[in-house]
Amino acid sequence: WQTRYGELVEFRINYGNTNVPQNYAKNIKLGQWVSTQRSQYNTSTLTQERIDQLNELNFEW
């Protein structure tokens, strides 16, 4: 999880947002991971700690 989170931090630095396309050609696994985080959030299976970390990046749920 922390590896992908770090990649998301880099994406945000480069693009100014956390809206990674699910089929993001430069890093397909990151796009899939972002989609999974949203799904887990919507089904209340994402831990509060992880929600807080993503919120620090202004993650768009």
SS3 44: coil
- Indicate the domain borders of the chain: 2-56
* Torsion 20-25-10-30 (CA) sign: positive
Which pair of structure tokens corresponds to residue 43?
A: 């089904």
Q: What is the pLDDT along the chain (61 residues), one digit of tens a residue?
A: 999 999 999 999 999 999 999 999 999 999 999 999 999 999 999 999 999 999 999 999 9
pTM: 0.93
